[in-house]
Amino acid sequence: MPDNDDLISVQTYRNLVLRYEAMHAEINGLFQSHPGGTETMTDQEVAQYRDMARQRDELLNEMRLLEQQLLDDENLQPE
């Protein structure tokens, strides 16, 4: 049976996934409103895109790290 730390980690992971998906959708929306991609964006919009992409990448890195920790913990659990 999972302990409280495991449940907290899974909840944290789910939160990260939701935040990642929201950021990804926001980036997609920005590109859908600019069919030519960054070529048709203003400098401010390009800066906004880069900031959102950086945040999305950071969320993905956090997800991967937590994923690995959860898998490592699972492998250490006695059967």
d(CA 11, CA 4): 11
For the segment 1-35, what is each residue's pLDDT rounded down to a tens digit? Answer: 457 888 899 999 999 999 999 999 999 999 999 98
This prediction has a pTM of 0.81
Q: How far is CA 52 from CA 22, 58, 62, in A?
A: 11, 10, 15
- Percent of the chain at pLDDT > 90 equals 72
pLDDT (average), residues 28-47: 94
Identify the pLDDT of residue 64: 97
Give pLDDT, residue 6.
Answer: 82
pLDDT at 50: 97
